[in-house]
């Protein structure tokens, strides 16, 4: 009898097509789910008969309460090598091996620039007008060359975003609580003297920080009030870093020129959520890591992880 493997949040129904699952076809039956389970009861019921689960990034939490309701689960594979929503101690206690996969930082870098450029040049507004027979030119674009890009975070993704900004002729500066002058020099950007100075002096601000106790709510109403009325904010990192209600208020009041978001407090975003109709907002449904090459990497590595686990030598263990 074959083991059962569930693949979660396969919204595009590509998980079994974009990678070769044939190496485990004789021993594993794969079932994909193209919808998100909104509560633990529904998720526990759906996964009750599965020994293997493949989950995408941090879109589904696996707390101790859920793991206790999955007695058949033996292997949990998360795409990427960092996952903060899995209770590793509980997984170990329930005999669940947790593994990760390689992941590329290129897709979120590229999406960051798609959002930033879309905001700067009013791409969506102008596109919609062309398609609908609306006004011919209704916006005046914001230049990148000579303007300041402020980065909150200068890790792997932030550094690559910085390099693109420099190529556009932007003045790039960065700040984070642990950022050093040596790291800023290494990337070729300025070290902002403070978070407040970076926010007040930047024409574009992009968030590239990990979510933790020190970064949760880092940008609240007081911080957003420091932004220029002509400034744009982009967040492709984690939603909770920016206070969602404060950002909504700033957008509705026109206190900033616009925002680009790829991450939200609740995902998928409910149909009646106020962000869906917020002015000055360019939003994408958490596409940061969603690219053909990255998905091929995730699911090919998931197959490798299953093979290795079946052989008794798990790969890329997490926790």
For 242-271, how does the pLDDT look when each residue is reduced to its tens digit (9 = 90+)? 999 999 999 999 999 999 999 999 999 999
Condensed to tens digits (0 to 9), the pLDDT of residues 57-78 reads 999 999 999 999 999 999 999 9
Task: Report pLDDT for 1.
Answer: 84
Residue 172: what pLDDT?
Answer: 98
- Annotated catalytic residues are 238, 267, 286
Query: What mean pLDDT comes out for the span 220-240?
Result: 98
* Structure confidence by residue, pLDDT tens digits, 96-155: 999 999 999 999 999 999 999 999 999 999 999 999 999 999 999 999 999 999 999 999
pLDDT at 135: 97
pLDDT confidence of residue 38: 87
Whether residue 239 has pLDDT greater than 90 = yes
Instruction: Determine the average pLDDT of the residues in 153-176.
Output: 98
Q: pLDDT exceeding 70 applies to what percent of the chain?
A: 100
pTM, rounded to two decimals? 0.94
Residue range 77-94: mean pLDDT, rounded: 96
Band of residue 308 on the pLDDT scale cut at 50, 70, 90: very high
The per-residue pLDDT for range 194-214, each reduced to its tens digit, is 999 999 999 999 999 999 999
Mean pLDDT score across all residues of the chain: 97
3-state SS string over the chain?
CCEEEEECCCCCCCCCCCCCCHHHCCCEEEEECCCCCCCHHHHHHHHCCCCEEEECCCCCCECHHHHCCCCCCCEEEECCCCCCCECHHHHHHCCCEEEECCCCCHHHHHHHHHHHHHHHCCHHHHHHHHHHCCCCCCCCCCCCCCCEEEEECCCHHHHHHHHHHHHCCCEEEEECCCCCHHHHHHHCCEECCCHHHHHHHCCEEEECCCCCCCCCCCECHHHHCCCCCCCEEEECCCHHHECHHHHHHHHHHCCCCEEEECCCCCCCCCCCCHHHHCCCEEECCCCCCCCHHHHHHHHHHHHHHHHHHHCCCCCCECC
Q: Mean per-residue pLDDT for 174-193?
A: 97
């Amino acid at each position: 009898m074959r083991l059962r493997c569930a693949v979660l949040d396969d919204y595009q129904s590509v998980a079994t097509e974009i990678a070769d699952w044939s190496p485990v076809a004789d021993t594993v039956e794969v079932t994909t789910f193209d919808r998100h389970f909104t509560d633990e009861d529904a998720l526990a019921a759906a996964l009750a008969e599965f020994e293997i689960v493949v989950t995408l990034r941090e879109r589904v939490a696996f707390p101790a309460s859920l793991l206790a309701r999955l007695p058949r689960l033996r292997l949990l594979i998360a795409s990427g090598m960092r996952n903060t929503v899995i209770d590793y101690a509980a997984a170990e206690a329930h005999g669940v091996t947790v593994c990760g996969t390689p992941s590329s930082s290129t897709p979120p870098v590229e999406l960051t620039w798609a959002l930033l450029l879309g905001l700067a040049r009013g791409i969506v507004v102008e596109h919609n007008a062309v398609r609908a027979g609306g006004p011919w030119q209704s916006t005046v674009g914001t230049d990148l060359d000579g303007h300041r890009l402020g980065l909150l975070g200068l890790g792997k993704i932030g550094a690559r975003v910085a390099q693109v900004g420099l190529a556009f002729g932007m003045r790039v500066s960065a700040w984070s609580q642990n950022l050093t002058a040596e790291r800023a020099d290494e990337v070729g950007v300025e070290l902002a003297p403070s978070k407040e100075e970076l926010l007040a002096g930047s024409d574009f601000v992009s968030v590239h920080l990990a979510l933790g106790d020190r970064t949760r709510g880092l940008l609240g109403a007081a911080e957003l009030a420091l932004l220029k009325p002509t400034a744009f904010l982009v967040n492709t990192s984690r939603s909770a870093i920016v206070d969602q209600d404060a950002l909504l208020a700033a957008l509705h009041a026109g206190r900033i020129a616009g925002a680009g978001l790829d991450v939200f407090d609740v995902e998928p975003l409910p149909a009646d959520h106020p962000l869906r109709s917020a002015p000055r907002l360019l939003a994408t449904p958490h596409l940061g890591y969603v690219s053909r090459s990255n998905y091929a990497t995730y699911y090919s590595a998931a197959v490798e992880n299953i093979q290795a686990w079946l052989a008794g030598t798990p790969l890329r263990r997490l926790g």
